[in-house]
Amino acid sequence: MKWIAVITISLLSTFNTLILKSIQKRYINNRTDFFIFIFYLNFFQSIGLLAIPPYTKLSFFKESLYLGIAYGVTILVYYLFMMLALSAGPLVLTNSVLALYPLIPIFYGLLFWQETLSILIIIGLALFIYSIFNLTNATYYDQKTEKKIELRWLIFVLIAFLCSGATSVFAKQHAIIRPDNSREYLLVCRWVNMLISGLLCLIARKKCAAVSHKKQSEKMYFSVLSTDKERTQCSSHLDIFNPNKIFLLFCFLNGVLMAIANTIFMQVVTRYASAFFFPTTQALSIIFTFFFSRIIFKEFLSKEALKGYILIIAAVILISIG
């Protein structure tokens, strides 16, 4: 039962990552597409949160509101830079670096939660820093095309990493203050994301309609806008009021997978030792992503990148155990 739970959670996490990569490759053409994605992603996650028992009355306290809003804004920034990282670099390395997010709550805990820093965490941190430097000169293969790991990928993934760690801080802080209101807290986060992304989509839609009308009044076609920036921002693959059905299916699957994974996680997390459970699930997720990215997206790592990948796995295990 123990290994079934661990492998199931790891696989669900991996499939969720693969879905996000597929959405990025197929549907995210510009910022408008991204915010439409965020809107529907949080819409289905909200449904999942409301559908999972127990079915009790919702009570929104001020802590759930301000921490939920902070979480919502931060996770929005996380998804933005995570998607940028997926578009600029390999899936397996992006997922591996993001798996090290516990570093942020660990250091926050040193300052504010009276927690301690073990020698294993220090070694894991050193491995992480060394692996990042090792990756700056590495290459990978995407559909048999050799690509160098760019500095912009590293910047994108590190910003996403910091945001992911910050959301863990908000979540734990809320759990300390309001342990019985996690559903309300998570719902506030989702609704904040839906509100921000929905408003930005409508603003972009109105702006593009105004540009189109102006060009048509000047007897010019919409496809020959005056600047490349206008053309890119207005040539969205998605429509918030009439989204692609496959895109909706991907968002629905993402919400379902996350709901199932979180439910299993909450049921088994207290049954097993943290020293086994956390490093094993994270390491297996990274390994599963490594193999599925080769099969589905035809991504292959060079020797230098593979070395960095192995060091990151070691860092994840040491930090989780520590």
The residues with which 140 forms a beta bridge, in sequence order, are: 147, 301
Residue 136, pLDDT score: 61
Q: What is the mean pLDDT of each run of 10 residues along the chain (322 residues)?
A: 79 85 82 85 85 78 88 90 86 78 76 75 76 67 71 90 86 79 84 91 78 56 50 63 83 80 64 60 77 78 74 73 65
**Main-chain phi, psi angles of 134, to 5 degrees:** -65, -35
For residue 204, count other CB atoms closer than 10 A to its CB.
20
Residue 160, pLDDT score: 93
Token pair listed for 66: 């301000």
Residue 222, pLDDT score: 46
Residue 77, pLDDT score: 93
Residues 6+ apart with CB under 8 A from 198: 35, 39, 240
For residue 90, count other CB atoms closer than 10 A to its CB.
29
What single-letter amino acid sits at 180? D
Please tell me what DSSP assigns to residue 181: -
CA distance 213 to 210: 5
